[in-house]
Amino acid sequence: MSALYRILKYAAILLWSAFVIAPFLWALTTSFKTANGITGGPTYIPWLQYQPSLEGWRLLFRSGGGGIQIGGPYLDSLIVTISASLISLVLGTLAAYGLSRFTFRAGFVRNADITFFFISQRIMPPVVLAIPFFLMLQFLGLLDTKFGLIIVYIALLMPIAVWVMVDFFNTVPRELDESAMLDGCSPFETFWRVILPNSKPGLVVAGLFCLIFGWNDFFFAFTLTFTQTQLLPVAIVALNSSVTPWWSLSAAALVSVAPLVAVAFVLESYLSRGNLAGAIR
C-alpha cells in the first residue's frame, strides 16, 4: 500500500515537473535551430534530428542583419526595474506603516479609503493611463529616458508594495510598537529599530512582486520610449520582422526569464528556511 502510494506520488511529481519544464526545454532546443530545423515537424535531439546552430543566439548580440544587440536593453531593463522597485518598496513600506498604525481623517476619507485609493491604481487598464503618462513625461521632457520610465514604474509598483505591506503590518502585534515607545522610541525609531527589522518576510514578498511586475511590463516601455531608451521586452519584439525568427525569440525568452528564475530560487530558499511565515508570533 505505502509502496503504491510512493510510486503514485513520484509519478505525479514527475508528470508535473515535465509539464513545467517542457516549455523551457522546447525553447532551449528551438534556440539552437534554424529555419530548416523548425519546419520539418517536432525534433528534439541535436545532431541526430537537427543540426544545432548558434545563429539564434548570435542575432541577439549582433547589430544589423536583424540583430538587436540585447546587452543595452538588458542593462536598461535591470536599471529601471531595480531602481523603481527599490524606491517603491521604501515609499510603499513607509506609507503602509502609517496606514496600518495611525488614524487619518480628511472629511469622509479614512485609512481604509486611502489604502483602497492606492490599490485602485492597479484596477484601471494600462491603456487608460498611457496618454496621461505620455503627456506628463512630454511636459517634463522625460520621454524616451530611463528616469521617466522609473517614475512611471514607481506609480505602477508602489500600490503593490503598499498593498502587501499594509497586510503584513496588520499582522504585527501593536503591542510591539507600544513596547518600543514605552522603552523610549519615538514613532520613527519604533518603525526603524523594531518594526522594520522584523518585517523581512513582508519586504521580500513585496520586493519580489515589484521586480516581477516591473520586469514584465511591455506596454509602458513600448509607449513611452522610442530610440534612446529601449527595454528588453520592446527590444525582443523588434526581432519580429517579416519572417518570425523563432530560434532568436526562444533564445531571447530564455535570457529574459533568467533573472526571474534566479529570484524564484532566492524566494524558494527563503521559504524553506521558514523565514517567510511566522517570524512574529
Partner 1 sequence: MSLVATELTRRVDGVVHLDSVSCVLERGRFYVVVGPTLSGKTSLLHALAGLDAPDIGTITFDGADLAAVPVWSRSVSMVYQQFINYPHLTVYDNIAFPLRRRRLAHAEIESRVRAIAETVSLTPFLERLPGALSGGQQQRVALARSLVKGSDLLLLDEPLINLDYKLREQLREEFLNIFSAQSRSILVYTTAEPNEALLFGAEVLVMHEGRLLQVGSAQSVYARPATATVARIFSDPPMNLVPGSLDDAALRLGDDVRLPRPRHFGPLPPGPYVFGIHPGDIAPNPSGIAAEVELAEISGSETFLHVHHAEMRLVAHLSGVYAYALGENVQIALDGAKLFAFTPDGELAAAPTSGG
Binding site for partner 1 (CB under 8 A): 173, 175-176, 178-186, 189, 194, 197-198, 279-281
Shortest distance, position 106 Cβ to partner 1, whole Å: 19
Shortest distance, position 179 Cβ to partner 1, whole Å: 5
Return d(Cα 91, Cα 155) in angstroms, integer.
11
C-beta closer to partner 1: residue 179 or 244: 179
Cell numbers for 238, please give them: 523588434
C-beta closer to partner 1: residue 51 or 179: 179
Strand partners, 160: none
* Residue 145 CB neighbour total at 10 angstroms: 17
Shortest distance, position 275 Cβ to partner 1, whole Å: 12
Q: Please report, for residues 221, 237, 252, the alpha-carbon distance to residue 249 in angstroms, rounded to integers and kept in the order given.
A: 18, 8, 5
Cell numbers for 184, please give them: 523610549
What value does the CA radius of gyration of the chain take, rounded to a whole number of Å? 24
C-beta closer to partner 1: residue 178 or 268: 178
Shortest distance, position 194 Cβ to partner 1, whole Å: 6
Shortest distance, position 41 Cβ to partner 1, whole Å: 59
Return d(Cα 72, Cα 16) in angstroms, integer.
36
C-beta closer to partner 1: residue 52 or 187: 187
C-beta closer to partner 1: residue 164 or 194: 194
C-beta closer to partner 1: residue 64 or 184: 184
Q: Are 148 and 141 in contact (CB under 8 A)?
A: no
C-beta closer to partner 1: residue 166 or 194: 194
Nearest to 212 by CA among 254, 161, 140, 250: 161
Residues in contact with 167: Cβ distance below 8 Å, sequence separation at least 6, in sequence order: 202
Length of the chain (residues): 281
Q: Please report, for residues 39, 48, 82, the alpha-carbon distance to residue 43 in angstroms, rounded to integers and kept in the order given.
A: 10, 9, 38
Return d(Cα 207, Cα 159) in angstroms, integer.
12
Half-sphere exposure of 3 (CA within 13 A, CB side): 0
Shortest distance, position 60 Cβ to partner 1, whole Å: 44
Half-sphere exposure of 129 (CA within 13 A, CB side): 15
Shortest distance, position 273 Cβ to partner 1, whole Å: 14
C-beta closer to partner 1: residue 56 or 202: 202
Shortest distance, position 118 Cβ to partner 1, whole Å: 25
Cell numbers for 72, please give them: 543595452
